[in-house]
Structure 1
Amino acid sequence: MMPKNVTNKLRIKPLVTFGATAAFGLTLAQASHAQSSVTLYGIVDVGIEHINNTTAGGGQTREVSGNLSGSRWGMKGIEDLGGGYSAIFTLESGFNVNDGTTAQSTRGLGTTPTTTTRLFGRQAYVGFAGKGQQLTFGRQNSVLYDQAVPFDPMGASSRYSTLSVDYATAGRIDNSAKYVGAFGPVTAEAMYSTRYDTGYGAEVPGAEITGRYFGGSLTYGTGPFAASASYEQRNSNTVATNTGTERRATAAATYVLGDVKGFAGYRYLRASRAFLPGSPIIVANGADTGYANLYWLGAQYRVTPALQLTAVGYYQDVHASNTDPWMAVLSAEYSLSKRTDVYATAAYTRNKNGSALGVNGYGTVAPGYNQTGVVVGMRQKF
């Protein structure tokens, strides 16, 4: 999730010397101060987690980074170009608080796998914005991620959210062009990538569909009601299997009634066996093409200005299979200040017939076993 309150700003102001008076230089510096800026921001989130029935057997207690929010630091810049338009950029780096390592590094799974070490693994883009429109280029949040954050009660958190059931709900796309436009209560989004994960290498000459991504969404919001629909498609990242695809479509809505906000959502997934990395839906289904429906229903209750409770259930219906796991989550957040809060989150997954959905995702629990996870932590935004 993106930080809600960014308050500390590092201003970049061109130094102006014109051989005139100091007052004249000060006037120009003040003008540049109003026209361009760079904002330094971040989130530090760490907690203690306990889970049972791990893949290695037994329970595990550990310190973990990035629970309600992925730990990060970043910079955002804006420069006024005149006429209501601005040049913008964002550089955002994820890190692990518990050991100080960089997050979002990946290793490709193709025939010639490569390792990608990402300094700004969360986001790195530049573009233009103005008059309700924005066009950006670089590594950016996917269309599905943009929809999951406001329409998942857990905000697509690093743990115990839709991300546990579907990795793509927090997807980031390399080599992408992204357009976002606001038209009254409707926001439209479109995105295209020439290769969405450079962990597999660069674009392949003569095989342009390899690693291709495209997607779009429409979101409507007015008063207490908001709704969204999205679609995205990824082609496999290897040349030999590049006709294999993962296709997702979502529909979700929220409604605010007093201190309660309700959430409901649906995601359709169709994944071919040729797609890499291998989808757990295909493994569970055993068919050439895997189909699955994901449903979620939940609510947030603002008990006091400082205390918020969240409850949500996720159910994955895998077609042509009786391996249909579900997960229930309960979370409490208490704000100590505008920038610091403490939290406690508990989750439970129910597996049957060999399904292996853990509270932190597929493959993180012994197949066929249920799992309980609890994390207590602290988060600070700056």
Structure 2
Amino acid sequence: MKKAALALGILAASTSAAWAQSSVQLYGIMDVGLRATSNANAGSSKYQVVPGGMSQSRLGINVTEDLGGGLKAIANLEHRLNSDTGTVAAADFWRQSWVGIQSSDFGRITLGRQYNILFDIYTSTYASFKYSPYIEAYKPEIGLSMGARQDNMVKYLFETGPVRGEIQVSAGEGNSQNKSVGGLLRYAEGAFSLGGAALQVTDTLGKKVKGFTAGGAYTDGPLYVNLSWATNKFDAGGLLGTAYTAGLLGTVLNTAANDVKKRDMVSAGFTYQFTPQWNLGAHYWYAQQTHYSAALANTKSKGHYFAVVADYAFSKRTDAYVELDYTKHKGAVAFANGETSRTGTMVGLRHRF
């Protein structure tokens, strides 16, 4: 009996030691904003409580297990929610769901639903704002990231010194709009970071969308400046024009906006940290779009987008923000109600945990 008890004690101790090498981290963001938008309802203003002004509210789980020899097992589940109503933010409950292996020598490989390489290069290298990569309620640049995520993905990441590279491949599986292949290259050292990425996504009709982006950023003490370029090229008759246009501003545009042959965007901005609490950021985006339909073949639609944000940090985890944005469309593209210009104002509170 004593031997059995001793054996069970040793087993329990070894099991506890094994679990001690694993970690499960719960994280999230709760962000709620009060937003007013002009020319939203047949020319009148619209007032909303939005479930994410600077960041979309989320709840996630990170898992890490030390396998020894420089190897780690990693996994992530992330759910996006509407903090104003408590409802699901998208049809896919888990906006990220992946598992992988990370090696200190050979890099990292992850499998599942993940951010794509266009989103990765933008947020890691030349994000619009230093303290928040983009404005969740107003994000023209994310509209050119071709969905920001892909299903059924295998992604490989490697780093050596200041250089990072990523390759992604997503299986179409016959009924997915997210068959993809692409890669990125990034260089970051000292005050400078620069890089670029290319991605091709194929829909269920075999039609392709090709995306490219490049840019850089410079940080000097409290000052952060960035410059970037992006383009999307669409095959005629594809199914992804509507899906990728919908992400341009997070709002409904007219049917001409979905008739897209090629869309280009250049953007530039800065963030300045006046004090440990106060940040001020401004960004400008300029977009051009050509069309396939015969009626619009000679039309070049244009978009001007501008935003400024003042952010006050109560602590490392809690901040308040005030934001102002302006949109002006020319050519065939307009908002769904026919308006070509719109102003938005927003104030909100965000907490990270």
**CA 245–169 in structure 1, closer or farther in 2 if over 3 Å, else same:** closer
The alpha carbon displacement at 1:31 in A equals 3.2
For normalisation by structure 2, the TM-score amounts to 0.85
What SS class does the counterpart of residue 119 from structure 2 fall into?
A: helix
The alpha carbon displacement at 1:69 in A equals 1.0
The alpha carbon displacement at 1:290 in A equals 1.1
Choose 345-354 or 134-143, whichever is displaced more: 345-354
The alpha carbon displacement at 1:33 in A equals 5.2
Within the candidate set 126, 129, 133, 2:102 is matched to 129
Within the candidate set 54, 72, 90, 2:58 is matched to 72
Within the candidate set 121, 124, 136, 1:147 is matched to 121
- Aligned partners of 2:187, 2:256: CA distance in 1, in Å? 35
The alpha carbon displacement at 1:309 in A equals 0.9
Equivalent residue number for residue 293 of structure 2: none
Equivalent residue number for residue 290 of structure 1: 261
RMSD of Structure 2 on Structure 1 (CA)? 2.6
Equivalent residue number for residue 230 of structure 1: 197
**TM-superposition CA deviations, 1:94-142 (whole Å, max 9, x none):** 100111111121xxxxxxxxxxxx221x210001012161101111001
The alpha carbon displacement at 1:324 in A equals 0.6
The alpha carbon displacement at 1:58 in A equals 1.3
- Aligned partners of 2:255, 2:158: CA distance in 1, in Å? 38
Question: Could you tell me the percent identity over the aligned residues?
Answer: 30
Structure 2: gaps of 5 or more residues: 249-253, 291-297
Within the candidate set 250, 272, 281, 1:301 is matched to 272
Choose 18-27 or 255-264, whichever is displaced more: 18-27
- Aligned partners of 2:305, 2:154: CA distance in 1, in Å? 35
Matched, 1:81 2:80: no
The alpha carbon displacement at 1:354 in A equals 3.6
Q: How does 1:1-382 map to 2 (within 5 A)?
A: 19-20=5-6, 28=14, 31-32=17-18, 34-54=20-40, 56-105=42-91, 118-120=92-94, 122-131=95-104, 133-150=107-124, 151-154=126-129, 155-163=133-141, 166=143, 168=145, 171-195=148-172, 203-204=173-174, 211-236=178-203, 238=204, 241-242=205-206, 244-279=207-242, 280=245, 284=256, 290-319=261-290, 320-356=298-334, 363=335, 366-382=337-353
For normalisation by structure 1, the TM-score amounts to 0.79
Could you tell me which amino acid in structure 1 is paired with residue 187 of structure 2?
Y
What SS class does the counterpart of residue 95 from structure 1 fall into?
A: strand
The alpha carbon displacement at 1:169 in A equals 5.9
- Aligned partners of 1:222, 1:252: CA distance in 2, in Å? 15
What SS class does the counterpart of residue 76 from structure 1 fall into?
A: strand
The alpha carbon displacement at 1:228 in A equals 1.1
The alpha carbon displacement at 1:231 in A equals 0.3
* Structure 2 contact 257–332 (Cα < 8 Å) conserved: no
Q: How many residues end up aligned between the 2 structures? A: 329
**TM-superposition CA deviations, 1:209-245 (whole Å, max 9, x none):** 9641111100100000000100001112x3xx32x21
Could you tell me which amino acid in structure 2 is paired with residue 139 of structure 1?
R
Report the structure, 1 or 2, having the larger strand content.
2
Could you tell me which amino acid in structure 1 is paired with residue 51 of structure 2?
S
